[in-house]
């Protein structure tokens, strides 16, 4: 009896290795995409999001918007 006979043989080990590598690649891509989106936001985008979340009121939004557009 060989060491790999019990659970699909050596092929199963190769398949698991491929799956682990693919998972690592997917995770790296997801992390890279999420960090790229944060870098691509303009100050106006950030301001609009803060206003939409209710972090700032309309008056403060308009003040900061005018400052950004100068």
Closest CA to 70 of 50, 44, 41, 38: 44
What is the extent of the structural domain holding 18? 9-69
Is position 2 within any domain? no
- Is position 4 within any domain? no
pLDDT digits (tens, 9 = 90+) for 9-61: 678 888 889 999 999 999 999 888 876 666 678 889 999 999 999 999 999 99
Domain count across the chain:
1
What predicted TM-score, i.e. pTM, was given to this entire model?
0.45
The answer to whether residue 63 is domain-embedded is yes
d(CA 46, CA 51): 9
Cβ atoms of 52 and 43 within 8 Å: the answer is: no
For residue 1, being part of any structural domain is answered with no
Contact call for residues 69 and 52 (beta carbons, < 8 A): no
As a whole number of angstroms, the distance between CA 69 and CA 13 comes to 59
With H, G, I as helix, E, B as strand and everything else as coil, classify residue 51.
helix
| Residue 55 included in any domain | yes
């Amino acid at each position: 009896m060989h060491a790999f006979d019990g659970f699909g043989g050596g092929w199963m080990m190769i398949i698991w290795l491929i799956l682990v590598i693919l998972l690592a690649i997917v995770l790296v891509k997801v992390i890279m995409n999420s960090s790229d989106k944060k870098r691509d936001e303009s100050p106006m985008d950030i301001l609009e999001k803060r206003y939409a979340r209710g972090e700032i009121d309309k008056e403060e939004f308009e003040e900061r918007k005018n400052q950004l557009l100068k």
